Structure formats: structure tokens, C-alpha cells
Amino acid sequence: MKRTLFILIVLLLSVGILWGMKRNSPVVQTAHVSEDTPDVPQPVITKESFSIEEGETFASVMERMGYGYADMQEVLDAGKGIYDFTQIVLGKNFVIRKKDGVFDAIVYDINSEEQAVITKDSTGAFVVTKQDIPYDITEKEVHGVIDSSLFLAGNQAGLDDRTILELADIFTWEIDFATVIQKGDSFSLVYEERTRDGQRGPSGRIFAATFVNQGKEYTAVRFEDPDGGIGYYTKEGDSLQKPFLKAPLKFSRISSGYSTARFHPVIGRTTTHLAIDYAAPIGTPIMATGDGTVIRASWNGGYGNFIAIRHNDTWDTHYAHLSKYAVKAGNKVSQGDIIGYVGSTGWSTGPHVHYEMVKNGVKVNPLTVELPAGDPIKDEWRSSFEEQKKKYIDFFGDR
């Protein structure tokens, strides 16, 4: 009787084990869950925000959140090499996140892309990590027509300032946004719209764009190459990045053009003006238009505060009338680096930067000279580029 009972128990256990194995098999995992299956309860997440007020320190914010000095010191120690909480910014928020009423994390946005997250490990000790902000992302296509300015047209199309500046940066080697933008110019782009907790956040990457300037269309496709490099290319695969920017200022106006016979307002006679003058407020940052070495950064007579950059054996660029310098002779600079600031030193009647391009020792017109082209996509990357571009073929197909 006992043996029979034992065998019966073994058989029942075997059936149970086999049934359990069958339930965990891949076939069962793909089966539809019955509507009668009860839903797994989701945790209730609550958030409480603490804004950093004027005169506050990390210690005082921690105290308002219910933590003592020892806790504050522990968080500071845990954050070493990750984020220094003594550098918190007025007006930003600490957010305490709880799940079902139990502490989960304290979150602080470092910038628009990263956040410092304070959690606790299994022993209850504080742990600090740096994480990407978890935005909800959707791709959005927008179009705009310029009436008075690119910024106004972009804002009217729903773009934030950051995306408008990025759009200008993409085409900065093709279009001089300081001088040639006209009423009726238009743009279109596909970009990331990001939201967080139902609120719109800063926009993300631009994937594809077109810009029509004075009737000429320019195109751009974002491409991340197999080596991790990121750049923008025409839809034909030519890099938009060229050895020289169109202008040394992002946004300004031409106050004096290139001329072999211009009346000089300071010396009172006609002379050559083999440069472009870009008017802008004093203190406006001036960019190096190409990679190179600063060969001079000093006073230069009528030029006032003056910078000369040697780019290669062929090209030099000059920047004059600066209010102050950001580089010294001998410094290596990259395209787009800030080298100085707009001023009105030397023979100048108002704040501007006097910009010269020198080719083989001869001053040339920066607006009309034919500049070196960008590199085409590498042959070994062509198929990857075409694959990424294919996502936006409809976007370009209408243009």
C-alpha cells in the first residue's frame, strides 16, 4: 500500500514537471494570453519636485527633501567622478520618485541630455549614476518659408531655437546665413521631437533637410558611418563639411563689401577694401573659418587688434578690429573655434569684423572665390549611406 502510494505520488510529480516544462517551452511562450488571465498590477509611481531656490546649497535642498547631513555627505562621496552636486543650478529641480510609496530614486537634470540619478543599493547605501534623460521620441517633418528671418520662420513652424541653429550649422558651408538669406527662401526637415512626462523637451537630431536659397536647393542627410563618425551629406553622398566656413560670424550683416575702390570713412580718400566687413555687436564671438595655426594675434596699425591664421601652404585668413582675443600666436585652432570677439579697434567707425582670405599670398573675395570641396562618402560606406538615406526617400522625392 505504501509502495503504491509512493508510485502514485511520483507519477503525479512527473506529470506536474512535464506540464511545467511544456508551459516554459518556446511554443507556449508565443501563445496568446487568455482574456481571463488577470493583469499584473503595475506599480504606482509618484514624483515630488523640489526647485532650487536662491541662496540654497545641496545640503539645504537635501534637508528640505527630508535627508540629514550624513545623507548629504554620503551622496557627495558617491557622486565623485560622476557629478559634483555642489554645482547645482538655481531654478533646476530635484525630483523624488517613489514606487508604491517606497523610495526609488532622486533625479537631477545635469543638462538637456543627461541626468544624475541617486538610488540605494541592497545595503541601503546611496549610489549615483549618470544616465541619458528618457525622452519619448517621435520623428516629425516640418516646412517653413522665410518672411523676415530664419529664426522667426523656424519658430512659426514649431521649431525651437536649438534646432534652428542646428539647421543653420548643417548648411553653413553652403550658405552664408549672415548675408544671403532672402524673403521667400524655404526649408524642410525631418527631426526628433522629444517629450517627457507629457511636456515638450528640447528637440533632438535632424535626420534629413532641404534649404532653398535664392532658388537653389541644398540637401542634407545625416549619416553615421561604421566607425561611429557623424556627418551630413548631400543626397548624392558629398560631404557638406568643407575646409572653410562661409563667414566668421553665425548671424550678422555685411557693412562693407570687397572692392578695389572704396571711400574710406576714416582716412577720407578712396582706397582698396579687399575684404568683407561683417557688422555685429561688440563682444560677438568670431570663429576660425578653417583648421590652422594662429601666426599672429596682436595690434596691427589700422587693423587694430588683429589675428592671422595659416591654414596650409595655400590659404591664410585675417580677422581685424577685434575687441579682445581668445587665442595666442602658435595656438592650433579647429574650424568653428572662437578666436576672438567683435570690436571697433584701429581704423573703424563701428563694431564689425574685417575678414580677409588670402590665397597664395593674394587677397581674394571671400564671397565669390571657389573654395575647396568636401570629401565624398567613402566607397566602402556607400551601401550603408544608401541604406540610411532610403528611410527619407519620400521626403526627398517630393523635391
Q: In this structure, what CATH number is given to the domain that contains residue 60? A: 3.10.450.350
Q: Please state which of the ranges 11-25, 26-40, 227-241, 366-380 shows the lowest mean pLDDT.
A: 11-25
pLDDT computed for residue 33 by the predictor: 44
Cell triple for 77? 562621496
- Whether 168 and 150 have beta carbons less than 8 Å apart is answered as yes
Residue pLDDT, tens place only, 189-229: 999 999 998 889 999 999 999 999 999 999 999 999 888 88
Same domain, 289 and 271: yes
Answer whether residue 308 is part of any domain: yes
Same domain, 205 and 188: yes
Q: Is the pLDDT of residue 27 over 70?
A: no
CA 309 – CA 292 distance, rounded (Å): 6
Counting every residue written for the chain, the total comes to 399
Answer whether residue 298 is part of any domain: yes
pLDDT computed for residue 347 by the predictor: 87
- Whether 223 and 184 have beta carbons less than 8 Å apart is answered as no
pLDDT computed for residue 95 by the predictor: 96
pLDDT computed for residue 264 by the predictor: 52
Identify the domain boundary among 132, 166, 194: 132
172-188 CB burial, b ≥16 within 10 A, e <16 = bbbbbbbbebeeebebb
Count CA atoms within 13 Å of residue 372 on its CB side.
14
CATH assignment at residue 329: 2.70.70.10
Identify the residue with better confidence: 176 or 124.
Answer: 124
Same domain, 73 and 107: yes
The mean pLDDT of the chain is 85
Mean pLDDT value of segment 42-59: 93
Share of the chain above pLDDT 90, in %: 66
Answer whether residue 85 is part of any domain: yes
- Whether 192 and 222 have beta carbons less than 8 Å apart is answered as no
- Whether 290 and 315 have beta carbons less than 8 Å apart is answered as yes
Is the pTM for the entire model greater than 0.85? Answer: no
Identify the domain boundary among 132, 150, 169: 132
CB atoms within 10 A of CB 318: 19
- Which structural domain, as residue segments, surrounds residue 259? 253-364
pLDDT computed for residue 40 by the predictor: 74
Q: Is the pLDDT of residue 296 over 90?
A: yes
In terms of Cβ atoms closer than 10 Å to its own Cβ (0-12, 13-18, 19+), residue 258 is buried
Answer whether residue 7 is part of any domain: no
CB atoms within 10 A of CB 54: 6
Beta-bridge partners for 326: none
The domain total for the chain is 3
Same domain, 87 and 146: no
pLDDT-based confidence at 393, cuts 50/70/90?
Answer: confident
